A and B are shown apart, each in its own frame.
Chain A
Amino acid sequence: MITKATTHITQNEALIFERSQPGRKGYMLPALDVDETPMDELLPAAFRRSDDLEGVPEVSEVDVVRHFTRISTWNYNIDLGMYPLGSCTMKYNSRLNERVARIKGFANLHPLASEEDSQGALQLLYELQQHLSEITGLAAVSLQPAAGAHGEMTGVMIIRAFLDARDGVGEGDRPRRHVMLIPDSAHGTNPASAHLSGFTVKTVRSTPEGQTDLDALRELCAAGDVAGLMLTNPNTVGLFERNIREICRIVHDAGGLVYMDGANMNALVGWARPGDMGVDVIHLNLHKTFSTPHGGGGPGSGPCCCTKELEPYLPVPRVVRAGEDRYKLDFDYPKTIGRVKAFYGNFGMAVRALSYIETHGADGLREATEAAVLNARVIAHGLAGDYHKPFDDPPMHEVVFTDKRQARKGVHTLDIAKRLIDYGFHPMTIYFPLIVQGAMLIEPTESVGRQEIQQFIEAMRAIAREAEETPDLVTNAPHTTRIGRLDEAAAARKPVLRWRPEEKAAVA
């Protein structure tokens, strides 16, 4: 019998700093082709580095390629299979979108090039704005925000600017209406963004059915000082807010505005529009609904869309049409909240999103939404016998279950999520929303076929059986990964956030 002495290097790739060898090179530049200026004339010694970049790795090209290829194999990814993270909309990222974003005329374009030299880019941004306006039913769009939370911050700042203009500013720059209402089921970015604009957050509770509690909302509005409501719809338990029209009316009657978190737009595109519901301002996530890749945490893009009434407050510059086939950057919006980012937003993401919209067509967009909702519905049906489903309403594009039944055997949501890895699936979103104890939020998206949905359901049901029969198997999962569960508490207690040369020996 042959015993393996060590695991193969592909399972044990070191940090690049630990692979570095003096003198190795992975690049080649053309020789300097101008007359050299003496060093001290170029830059006095006091302004130059004296550390000779010690510690920065020295490796060859093939070292780099193998390094990243090896560590890449430790990642789950959409191309490998279903990625059912609730509220994250992990749908397929088309290679065509990647290809067109890399066309030289886009990739090589400097943001400060003159308007006449960047007409194609401006036209592209303008057309995407038009489509997003049609999709959301809202009149005006800014593509400047770089991510969802950034778009959210922009939206809340617009609300603040509108209210200040309408009602005047309160004492000590406090908004006259200082209360931002946020449901208890909201994403954490909502209160964080509201806080940046000087608002005080008050929580709106949900009903046992998973809907916004209208009575609670009325009560909070009656208490006064309401600047607005930040609502996700469908909400974070995957249900459409049936009373959305009434919700908007209550907030508007109280003098506030309605902000919608567009994280869940994948349930609505082509079927319903926030603008028609009474929403005043919304952000979209191009990296969710419009399939731009998540890239292991970004980049995103968080366009902010709003009503005609709020349009004057959008960030500048705006991309506008300046005649037949002519586009320009317009800075002339005296009421604007200002800039939220240098240049014009994550343009590369806009290219991909426009490509997504144009390759789907209006009918394709509607069908994609239908498939996303149907897939979630199939999962809701398939798992209702084995897992506790806290809400009866039929879910939209995502469905929430809990660990209530499994917890009796000491098996919790985290264990179920980790065990799912052994079955080849990425776990669902866990412990969110916070109002559902032991929440498992599952969003299959439209990018998964019937067969894989069935396999997912079977895996989840098998885990439910294991929780009954062999709970240890679940609580010790995962069993098939390169490393086991990591001690996150210890990592936070004594944080090691970078490599240092002296640690070389200790970790070898």
Chain B
Amino acid sequence: MLRSVGLNSPEELFDTIPADILLRDLLDTPSALSEPELITRFESLAAKNAAAHRPNFLGAGAYSHYQPTIVDSLISRSEFFTAYTPYQPEISQGTLQAIFEFQTLVCQLTGMDVANASMYDGSTSVAEAVLMAERVTRRRKVVVSGALHPEYLHVADTYVAHAGIDLVRAGFDEHSGTTNFDELGALDDQTAAIIVQSPNFFGCVEDLQTLSERAHKVGALLVVCVTESISLGLLREPGASGADIVVAEGQSFGVPLSFGGPYLGLFATREKYARQLPGRLVGVATDKEGRRGFVLTLATREQHIRREKATSNICTNEGLIALMATIYLETLGRRGLQEVAMQCAQKAAYAARRIAEIEGFSLPYSATPRFNEFVVRAPVAADGLLRRLASERNITGGLALSRYFPERPNDILVCVTETNPRSEIDALVNGLAELT
């Protein structure tokens, strides 16, 4: 082949690179492993991740749910996972139709009119929602609930550092565990949006109806964030409570935990704001014969057309993960989603009841409606207790809230899903009782 293009050595292919920066030696990276060697090595690395192999009560933005077998089987088809972004609709209808179904499902679950083709994850979706609220309202103050996932808050801070937006934190009520309404007195005619997570970081369901009324009264938007999307199978859809933008982490829809990614950002809004959406959108189109097909549409919002005036810089999104969620949602369907949500809520209620009965333990927000996560106040430091649960009982018992809130050394955020049989919950309860 070299000869056919008039060259004698591979080095000549790189003639346009100045000699002083051309590498002469091989990189200092490992020499090639064969397939069996690589598998052995990666399996031994994976074996060191002890937490992956034990019963789990960790949630806080990433959730264990059952993934039906056909989900991985279908996304593993070459036609889906080795395809590019569907810029050539005639030979990408599979991807495009799946995204259209995804957009529809997200609208149905959130109670909104339009949804995009996905964002990176829940945290970046919140950040993009802040930017969108500014575009829609031309106002520069955004009030964020103090019960938003701390990492999401941190990401939003980074995104808006130089966007001229003032992110104001509202506190949360120590008794109810929900966003503090009185502090939202800070709402005024300069407020672009209030951002609230529900169920919030502490597992408490927020009163979205009241929040939306307060936001709308001053002409601000209500942005609702959901991290445990399975809750949408049971909880009132945010759209029905007046939300203007709904963002969510879609990992719960059959996506593996995978140490934090790839996950899936869901992003939905009202029809009137469709042209302010970040990211890709798929719409219906017809060909000359009148046949229905799907295309990427409203591209004039996007970076490859609008450059610095685009609604976002996003290009690659989470296509295959959106497909995974689509297959999951269609496989579970209407009744399955309700059943999974109900099991999560029922099992969490059972666990909460049992834990509250343990001597010395309490549930600080027990009076507030919740879905499948709740805060447990232990009589001892959470860190040590969780370590012992892991080493002596082989259970990952939840999240020590001190990771984000050093002033709360004894609090544990516990999450229960349909994947936790009663025997695991009972083992957790016994462990907590016996190790304190």
Give the docked Cα–Cα distance between A482 and B91 (Å). Answer: 8
Interface string of B311-353 (1 = CB under 8 A from A): 0111111111101000101111111111110110111011001
Whether B149 is near chain A, meaning CB under 8 Å from some CB there, is yes
Residues of chain A lying within 8 A (CB to CB) of residue B371: 43
Query: Could you tell me the distance in whole angstroms from the C-beta of A388 to the nearest C-beta in chain B?
Result: 19
Residues of chain A lying within 8 A (CB to CB) of residue B317: 147, 297-299
Q: Are B107 and A498 in contact (CB under 8 A)?
A: yes
Known: A85-B84, A134-B27. A120 touches B283 (CB 8 A): no
Known: A360-B32, A497-B274. A338 touches B53 (CB 8 A): no
Nearest-CB residue, chain A, relative to B286: A487
Residues of chain A lying within 8 A (CB to CB) of residue B174: none
Residues of chain B lying within 8 A (CB to CB) of residue A487: 285-288
Which of B103, B259, B280 has the most C-beta atoms of chain A within 10 angstroms of its own C-beta?
A: B259
Chain B interface residue bracket vs A: 35 or more
Give the docked Cα–Cα distance between A377 and B22 (Å). Answer: 19
Whether A364 is near chain B, meaning CB under 8 Å from some CB there, is yes
Whether B168 is near chain A, meaning CB under 8 Å from some CB there, is no
Residues of chain A lying within 8 A (CB to CB) of residue B262: 146, 298-299, 301, 346-349
Interface string of B295-318 (1 = CB under 8 A from A): 101111011111111101111111
Known: A88-B84, A483-B291. A342 touches B74 (CB 8 A): no
Give the docked Cα–Cα distance between A276 and B294 (Å). Answer: 46
Residues of chain A lying within 8 A (CB to CB) of residue B97: 13, 15, 71, 74
Q: Are B117 and A297 in contact (CB under 8 A)?
A: yes
Known: A108-B256, A196-B159, A337-B158. A131 touches B149 (CB 8 A): no
Query: Could you tell me the distance in whole angstroms from the C-beta of B127 to the nearest C-beta in chain A?
Result: 9
Q: Are B27 and A147 in contact (CB under 8 A)?
A: no
Whether B28 is near chain A, meaning CB under 8 Å from some CB there, is yes
Query: Which of B38, B157, B302, B329 touches A100 (beta carbons < 8 Å)?
Result: B38
Residues of chain A lying within 8 A (CB to CB) of residue B123: 339, 341-342
Q: Are B93 and A74 in contact (CB under 8 A)?
A: yes
Q: Are B47 and A483 in contact (CB under 8 A)?
A: no
Q: Are B64 and A43 in contact (CB under 8 A)?
A: no
Query: Could you tell me the distance in whole angstroms from the C-beta of A355 to the nearest C-beta in chain B?
Result: 6
Whether B233 is near chain A, meaning CB under 8 Å from some CB there, is yes
Known: A394-B15, A396-B16. A96 touches B333 (CB 8 A): no
Residues of chain A lying within 8 A (CB to CB) of residue B101: 15-17, 499
Q: Are A77 and B313 in contact (CB under 8 A)?
A: no
Q: Are B81 and A93 in contact (CB under 8 A)?
A: yes
Give the docked Cα–Cα distance between A435 and B53 (Å). Answer: 54
Residues of chain B lying within 8 A (CB to CB) of residue A258: none
Residues of chain B lying within 8 A (CB to CB) of residue A315: 158
Query: Which of B18, B288, B333 touches A27 (beta carbons < 8 Å)?
Result: B333
Residues of chain B lying within 8 A (CB to CB) of residue A351: 42
Whether B379 is near chain A, meaning CB under 8 Å from some CB there, is no
Whether A242 is near chain B, meaning CB under 8 Å from some CB there, is yes
- Taking A32-B343, A495-B274 as known contacts, 12 extra A-B pairs with beta carbons closer than 8 A to each other, sorted by chain A number, are A49-B240, A53-B337, A58-B334, A111-B260, A135-B29, A293-B81, A294-B84, A342-B61, A377-B7, A426-B84, A492-B297, A497-B283
Residues of chain B lying within 8 A (CB to CB) of residue A342: 61, 121-123, 149, 151-152, 155, 249, 260
Residues of chain A lying within 8 A (CB to CB) of residue B159: 196, 340
Known: A484-B291, A495-B283. A68 touches B327 (CB 8 A): yes
Whether A150 is near chain B, meaning CB under 8 Å from some CB there, is yes
Whether A118 is near chain B, meaning CB under 8 Å from some CB there, is yes
Q: Are B297 and A488 in contact (CB under 8 A)?
A: yes
Whether A333 is near chain B, meaning CB under 8 Å from some CB there, is no
Query: Which of A347, A363, A417, A496 touches B26 (beta carbons < 8 Å)?
Result: A363
Q: Are B49 and A119 in contact (CB under 8 A)?
A: yes
Residues of chain A lying within 8 A (CB to CB) of residue B337: 53, 56
Whether A109 is near chain B, meaning CB under 8 Å from some CB there, is yes
Give the docked Cα–Cα distance between A64 and B77 (Å). Answer: 14
Residues of chain A lying within 8 A (CB to CB) of residue B320: 293, 295-299
Nearest-CB residue, chain A, relative to B119: A146
Residues of chain A lying within 8 A (CB to CB) of residue B53: 104-105, 108
Residues of chain A lying within 8 A (CB to CB) of residue B422: 33-34
Which of B4, B306, B338 has the most C-beta atoms of chain A within 10 angstroms of its own C-beta?
A: B4
Residues of chain B lying within 8 A (CB to CB) of residue A194: 308
Known: A114-B51, A499-B101. A49 touches B235 (CB 8 A): yes
Q: Are B94 and A337 in contact (CB under 8 A)?
A: no
Query: Could you tell me the distance in whole angstroms from the C-beta of A145 to the nearest C-beta in chain B?
Result: 9
Stretch in contact with the other chain, from A216-224, A366-374, A403-411, A458-466: A366-374
Known: A110-B58, A342-B152. A47 touches B313 (CB 8 A): no
Q: Which of B64-108 contact A (CB under 8 A)?
A: 64, 66, 68, 70, 72-74, 76-86, 88-95, 97-101, 103-105, 107-108
Contacts A/B (CB < 8 Å), 23 sampled = A46-B209, A49-B234, A58-B334, A59-B333, A64-B327, A71-B98, A73-B94, A76-B91, A78-B83, A93-B82, A100-B38, A109-B258, A110-B51, A120-B45, A157-B158, A188-B307, A273-B23, A297-B320, A299-B261, A378-B5, A393-B16, A483-B93, A497-B282
Q: Are B396 and A110 in contact (CB under 8 A)?
A: yes
Q: Are B51 and A37 in contact (CB under 8 A)?
A: no
Query: Could you tell me the distance in whole angstroms from the C-beta of A398 to the nearest C-beta in chain B?
Result: 13
Whether B428 is near chain A, meaning CB under 8 Å from some CB there, is no
Interface string of B166-194 (1 = CB under 8 A from A): 00000000000000000000000000000
Q: Which of B27-70 contact A (CB under 8 A)?
A: 27-35, 38-39, 41-53, 56, 58, 60-62, 64, 66, 68, 70
Whether A300 is near chain B, meaning CB under 8 Å from some CB there, is yes
Q: Are B4 and A381 in contact (CB under 8 A)?
A: yes
Q: Are A43 and B369 in contact (CB under 8 A)?
A: yes
Q: Are A498 and B103 in contact (CB under 8 A)?
A: yes
Nearest-CB residue, chain B, relative to A117: B51
Residues of chain B lying within 8 A (CB to CB) of residue A1: none
Q: Are A53 and B5 in contact (CB under 8 A)?
A: no
Whether A90 is near chain B, meaning CB under 8 Å from some CB there, is yes
Give the docked Cα–Cα distance between A300 and B118 (Å). Answer: 13
Give the docked Cα–Cα distance between A192 and B159 (Å). Answer: 13
Query: Could you tell me the distance in whole angstroms from the C-beta of B267 to the nearest C-beta in chain A?
Result: 12
Residues of chain B lying within 8 A (CB to CB) of residue A101: 258
Residues of chain A lying within 8 A (CB to CB) of residue B331: 26-27, 59, 61, 64
Known: A105-B43, A192-B310. A363 touches B343 (CB 8 A): no
Give the docked Cα–Cα distance between A13 and B420 (Å). Answer: 37
Query: Which of B6, B95, B103, B399 touches A297 (beta carbons < 8 Å)?
Result: B95
Q: Are B81 and A189 in contact (CB under 8 A)?
A: no
Whether B281 is near chain A, meaning CB under 8 Å from some CB there, is yes
Give the docked Cα–Cα distance between A147 and B333 (Å). Answer: 31
Residues of chain A lying within 8 A (CB to CB) of residue B31: 361-363
Residues of chain A lying within 8 A (CB to CB) of residue B162: 157, 160, 173, 175, 196-198
Whether B257 is near chain A, meaning CB under 8 Å from some CB there, is yes
Known: A112-B403, A124-B45, A153-B313. A59 touches B330 (CB 8 A): yes
Query: Which of A36, A152, A357, A363 touches B313 (beta carbons < 8 Å)?
Result: A152
Give the docked Cα–Cα distance between A169 and B13 (Å). Answer: 45
Whether A3 is near chain B, meaning CB under 8 Å from some CB there, is no
Q: Which of B1-15 contact A (CB under 8 A)?
A: 1-2, 4-7, 10, 13-15
Query: Which of B86, B99, B346, B386 touches A34 (beta carbons < 8 Å)?
Result: B346
Give the docked Cα–Cα distance between A13 and B32 (Å). Answer: 45
Residues of chain B lying within 8 A (CB to CB) of residue A357: 29-30
Q: Are A294 and B85 in contact (CB under 8 A)?
A: yes
Q: Are A498 and B115 in contact (CB under 8 A)?
A: yes
Whether B154 is near chain A, meaning CB under 8 Å from some CB there, is yes
